[in-house]
Structure 1
Amino acid sequence: MAAYMCTVAQPVSTGTEKHSKDHHVKNSRGETIKFQNPHPSHVWPALSVFAPRIIKAMFSSETPKPKLEDKLVPVVKPQFLSTRTASSELRATWLGHACYYVEYPSGLRVLFDPVFEDCCSPVNLARFKRYTERPCDIADIPYVDAVVISHSHYDHLSYPSVQEIKKHHPNAHFFVGLGLEKWFKSSGIDKVTEMDWWDEAEVTFTPEPTKETDTKSEPIKAIISCLPSQHSSGRSGFDKDCTLWASWGIKSSEKTVWFGGDTGYRTVPRVAEGIDDWGPEFQHLPVCPQFRQIGEHLGSVDLGLIPIGAYAPRHIFSHMHANPYDSVEIFRDTNCKRAMAIHWGTWVLTPEDPLEPPKLLKEALKRKGLPETGLFDVCDIGESREF
């Protein structure tokens, strides 16, 4: 058998003027010390507003507290392809929250933002425990070639999950934003490539067959693009925005997936309850221009994985979390042919009803004259769709 190899060409910047490095914050010596969202679509709420609201959300009796036994979102056992040559279609399986497992016709297997823990916080708090079961274990996934991480928040990057991947898929290569390579190497993982926004890397995977029925051993090629998002990063109170958050484009065998990870689209002010913040009086609010740039850069996207949850209250979270109305705009901006919803259905992160995001998604699609099903969908956790 041939040994498994992953060859990553040095990431190169696309180098166009609009892809400037104005998201880098530099010190007096010209060294990048942290990162920022460079557009007026992102405005942090004042700390005097933000901090009390977060504390209230953690302890308020108004915050939903669903439990596993409530079974709010159906969970099914995933049916992964048994070999790399089993399908000529792009196949995507939702594993909860922002985690997707994508099987490409080329044989490439990519895992996005894997977090398989019960709790998505640095300490074990009941407030941040799952209300839907994980559909499988990492050991159940047959192949993992690439693992893509959007940013360092605990609901997107998990040390125990990373260690499980290392144990069961030791050849998996991690792709991360600037600054995160150090964290991975300190975690005992050397197969990691960090990238800046608008960097692209040509990657060749030469997998070793692991089943008698799987004879595919020819190289699998992919283009991995690190792309912007509007968000933040940090794993403690001392490293805010010291590592780069990103969305990602991965193309292989003429199929392209854009993974939104976690992102906002625009910042909206506090409005009275029942007021539509996409109404005429709010049309002047700036939106993030980078999603249109992503659509222009990728050309056409077969599948978008786009966040729809954790958005309430809007004046607190809109700068970094899209609601479904924002998500439909992102879908249109990025030239996605189809999309699946992520970033909902797993943990209570903000006070909206856990089942509200998919309901609002249908309303948002209808408002734009788009089909309510078959274009930008939700599915059961563990369910696979083909594209």
Structure 2
Amino acid sequence: MPRPFGQWTSRLWRAHTRASAASRPVALTAAVSGSAIVVAAATATMTTKEDATSPAAASLLGPVSTASSSPGYVTSVAKVAGRASIPCEAESNPHHVVGSGGKVSHFKNPYPSWSNPVGFVSMVRNVLWPLITGDLKQPDTSPPTVPVVTPQWLPERFPAESQSSSPSSPGKLRATWLGHACYYVEFPSGLRVLFDPVFEDRCSPFTFLGPKRYTPRPCAIADIPTIDAVVISHSHYDHLSHTSVLEIQKSHPDVQFFVGLGLEKWFRKSGLKNVTELDWWEDAELTVQVADKSGKGTGGGGGSDADQAKGSTRSISARVSCLPCQHTSARSLLDKDTTLWCSWGVKSGGRSVWFGGDTGYRAVPRLPRGVDDYGPEYEALPRCPQFKQIGELRGPFDLGLIPIGAYYPRAAFSAMHANPFDSVEIFRDTRCQRAMGIHWGTWALTMEEVLEPPRVLREALKRRGLPETGVFDVCDIGESREF
């Protein structure tokens, strides 16, 4: 006999209440990482974190600095004219949606590997209803989960002469996981890059609502000694934090921000000036001039006494490339897909990193739990072709930072969030030599158990005949690995 409506609404409320606990994953928050909605329709008059940390009200952060140089170094960026090494079909920008005025109004995923899974009907069918009926359960975020250690940075930007790199023998990359999709990469050239920094407890527009960390931050922004560049994959709250970017700008006034099309306006409105906006397959050259009082750099000698006192400078150069991925963007109900989602390549000093940010690979239909969606009957599901294009045209990469989490239920999230089996295929397509898993271990955004992604990653590697460790790994939060 059907249950009375009051009983069903009571169960719905209880499911929402459970989802509103400390971990606060999907349920009625509508998967912040996927939709960035977080019940925004009912909060038009509420104060958001971005309101609270606007330049006019940033009392906790202090005034936003507009200085153009940091102590000891100066950065500059020049866009590369044209787009080199680009697929033929990308020349027409199939990801652009042009409005009536002839301008790009928003963006889309242009391939059959995409479906739009995070609509209301899909969320009710694949997430809310299974929660109500008990077919889905919230992941357990109680400790212990992912170990957290204090990061250890390299003591100096430039290695000793005996350890210095050369074009024929570049030094090692050092990559430190700071939780979720945030990685700090120290290049042997001396370049220091921070990817998708979010240091708040909640990845949400609000301080009181939305997914909350179940693992602590390994450090504060102020603990990071040098940041030359910040690379942002897209606008979702688990990848872009208003508070964090303001604090980074305050601590490192000459930091350069690299963002996808449409997002520069948000940064400039926030008071940040050093912003470079790129489309897929576009590149920029980053130059860092570092003061070198040892006199071993260029520019010292032969000048005035004042110039001699300042010492010489050493120059670091990097190529930053905006590359495709398969995802969405939004920070409210009103700006869905109006800014571009991207993966990124960074090359400097003979070493290269591909940052996947947040991406899907295939759109998987609704299947019973435990069914292998890489089985023979699903082999023909379309795969996003852009990753092979990246590998063929811009690879290989020494290191890939590839998402492995926030994927279940697959019918709701597969098109926009890779599971570890997808991640291994992306690893192969992009021709990364080594990889580290990101986008897990910090916020419970979806319904898989919090420690499931590394376990499934090992299964996926084994299926492909790859070693379960030493090729595509995970690490503790705060841990560094060298490549």
Alignment CA distance shift 1:46-1:320 (3 Å): closer
2:193 partner letter: V
Q: Write the distance in 2 (CA, Å) between the matches of 1:174 and 1:259.
A: 15
Using the TM superposition, give the Cα deviation of residue 44 of structure 1 relative to its aligned residue in structure 2, in angstroms: 1.0
Is 1:19 equivalent to 2:102 in the alignment?
no
1:63 to 110, 135, 138: 138
Structure 1 stretch displaced more, 87-96 or 117-126? 117-126
Q: Write the distance in 2 (CA, Å) between the matches of 1:5 and 1:205.
A: 6
Per the alignment, residue 51 of structure 2 pairs with: none
Alignment CA distance shift 1:2-1:242 (3 Å): closer
Per the alignment, residue 153 of structure 2 pairs with: 80
Using the TM superposition, give the Cα deviation of residue 170 of structure 1 relative to its aligned residue in structure 2, in angstroms: 0.9
Using the TM superposition, give the Cα deviation of residue 57 of structure 1 relative to its aligned residue in structure 2, in angstroms: 8.4
Deviations 1:227-249 (A, max 9, x none): 00000000001100000000000
Using the TM superposition, give the Cα deviation of residue 98 of structure 1 relative to its aligned residue in structure 2, in angstroms: 0.1
Q: Write the distance in 2 (CA, Å) between the matches of 1:116 and 1:304.
A: 22
Q: Write the distance in 2 (CA, Å) between the matches of 1:147 and 1:209.
A: 23
Q: Write the distance in 2 (CA, Å) between the matches of 1:345 and 1:5.
A: 35
> Contact 2:203–2:210 (CA<8 Å) still a contact in 1?
no
Per the alignment, residue 365 of structure 2 pairs with: 269
Structure 1 stretch displaced more, 215-224 or 72-81? 215-224
Deviations 1:157-216 (A, max 9, x none): 00010011011111110000000000000111000000000001122111346999x998
Is 1:9 equivalent to 2:97 in the alignment?
no
Q: RMSD across aligned C-alpha pairs, in angstroms?
A: 2.3
User: Structure 1, unaligned stretches of length 5 or more?
Assistant: none
> Contact 2:260–2:340 (CA<8 Å) still a contact in 1?
yes
1:50 to 116, 122, 142: 122
1:333 partner letter: D
Report 1:1-387 matches (<5 A).
4-11=73-80, 12-14=82-84, 16-20=87-91, 21-45=93-117, 47-52=119-124, 53=126, 55=128, 62-67=137-142, 70-86=143-159, 88-125=171-208, 128-208=211-291, 217-387=313-483
Q: Write the distance in 1 (CA, Å) between the matches of 2:290 and 2:254.
A: 9
Could you say what secondary structure the match of 1:362 adopts?
helix
Deviations 1:233-267 (A, max 9, x none): 00001100000000000000110000000000010
Q: Write the distance in 1 (CA, Å) between the matches of 2:419 and 2:292.
A: 42
Could you say what secondary structure the match of 2:432 adopts?
coil
Could you say what secondary structure the match of 2:397 adopts?
coil
Q: Write the distance in 2 (CA, Å) between the matches of 1:210 and 1:193.
A: 30
Q: Write the distance in 2 (CA, Å) between the matches of 1:334 and 1:253.
A: 20
Deviations 1:287-317 (A, max 9, x none): 0000000001223100000000000000100
> Contact 2:127–2:409 (CA<8 Å) still a contact in 1?
no
Using the TM superposition, give the Cα deviation of residue 64 of structure 1 relative to its aligned residue in structure 2, in angstroms: 1.8
Q: Write the distance in 2 (CA, Å) between the matches of 1:56 and 1:235.
A: 26
Q: Write the distance in 1 (CA, Å) between the matches of 2:188 and 2:118.
A: 47
Using the TM superposition, give the Cα deviation of residue 217 of structure 1 relative to its aligned residue in structure 2, in angstroms: 3.3
Q: TM-score, normalised by structure 1?
A: 0.94
1:96 partner letter: G
Alignment CA distance shift 1:363-1:16 (3 Å): closer
> Contact 1:84–1:216 (CA<8 Å) still a contact in 2?
no
> Contact 1:71–1:131 (CA<8 Å) still a contact in 2?
no
> Contact 2:260–2:342 (CA<8 Å) still a contact in 1?
yes
Structure 1 stretch displaced more, 116-125 or 234-243? 116-125
Using the TM superposition, give the Cα deviation of residue 126 of structure 1 relative to its aligned residue in structure 2, in angstroms: 5.8
Q: Write the distance in 1 (CA, Å) between the matches of 2:270 and 2:137.
A: 38
Q: Write the distance in 2 (CA, Å) between the matches of 1:183 and 1:220.
A: 28
2:215 partner letter: T
Q: Write the distance in 2 (CA, Å) between the matches of 1:55 and 1:210.
A: 61
Could you say what secondary structure the match of 1:156 adopts?
coil
> Contact 1:311–1:323 (CA<8 Å) still a contact in 2?
yes
Using the TM superposition, give the Cα deviation of residue 127 of structure 1 relative to its aligned residue in structure 2, in angstroms: 5.1
Could you say what secondary structure the match of 2:346 adopts?
strand
Report % sequence identity: 60
Larger radius of gyration: 2
> Contact 1:300–1:335 (CA<8 Å) still a contact in 2?
yes
Deviations 1:347-367 (A, max 9, x none): 000010000000000000000
Could you say what secondary structure the match of 2:330 adopts?
coil
Q: TM-score, normalised by structure 2?
A: 0.76
Could you say what secondary structure the match of 1:325 adopts?
helix
1:137 partner letter: A
1:29 partner letter: G
Could you say what secondary structure the match of 1:305 adopts?
strand
1:318 partner letter: S
1:180 partner letter: L
Using the TM superposition, give the Cα deviation of residue 45 of structure 1 relative to its aligned residue in structure 2, in angstroms: 2.9
Q: Write the distance in 2 (CA, Å) between the matches of 1:284 and 1:340.
A: 28
